[in-house]
């Protein structure tokens, strides 16, 4: 099911309850205004894991600690299998941290609405 976010300025997006509160604080019932409606794209921990960077950071840390003795450290990792490492880390984070609550938006549309009539939210 597609989830939507709403904005008054196409910059900061909110859930339906929050945008209604913002609108009703700033505008009078019956006022017409333009809002932005967009599809939410939720992130997962996997969105932020770069396996190659992780390996490179570990190699650099080993070199800083041990100099040339660390030469070749982790060079034998099959980079085609980095996805397995990323999944292990993401699974660990999924089980041991709070769910991600932030998102980005796509397919932004401008809509003219009347303050007090939020039926358009049901029709999306």
**b/e map 82-114, b = 16+ CB within 10 Å:** beeebeebbeebeeeeeeeeeeebeeeeeeebe
3-class DSSP assignment, residue 101: coil
Closest CA to 118 of 47, 41, 18: 18
Contact 40, 124 (CB under 8 A): no
9 burial via Cβ count (<10 Å: 0-12, 13-18, 19+): exposed
- Which pLDDT does position 43 carry in this prediction? 96
The mean pLDDT of the chain is: 96
Q: What is the pTM of this model?
A: 0.75
**pLDDT tens, residue by residue, 72-122:** 999 999 989 999 999 999 999 999 999 999 999 999 999 999 999 999 998
Read off the tokens for 24. 């009703």
Of the chain, the percentage scoring pLDDT greater than 70 comes to 100
- Which pLDDT does position 91 carry in this prediction? 97
Closest CA to 109 of 19, 41, 35, 16: 35
Measured in whole angstroms, the distance separating CA 62 from the mean position of its chain's CA atoms is 32
């Amino acid at each position: 099911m597609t989830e939507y976010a709403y904005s008054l300025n196409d910059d900061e997006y909110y859930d339906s309850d929050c945008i209604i509160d913002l609108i009703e604080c700033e505008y009078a019932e019956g006022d017409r205004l333009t809002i932005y409606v967009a599809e939410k794209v939720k992130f997962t921990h996997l969105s932020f894991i770069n396996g190659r960077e992780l390996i490179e950071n570990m190699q650099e840390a080993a070199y800083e600690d041990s100099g040339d003795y660390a030469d070749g450290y982790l060079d034998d990792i099959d980079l085609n299998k980095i996805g397995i490492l990323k999944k292990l880390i993401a699974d660990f984070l999924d089980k041991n941290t709070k769910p991600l609550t932030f998102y980005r938006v796509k397919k932004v549309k401008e809509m003219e609405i009347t303050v007090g009539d939020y039926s358009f939210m049901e029709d999306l």
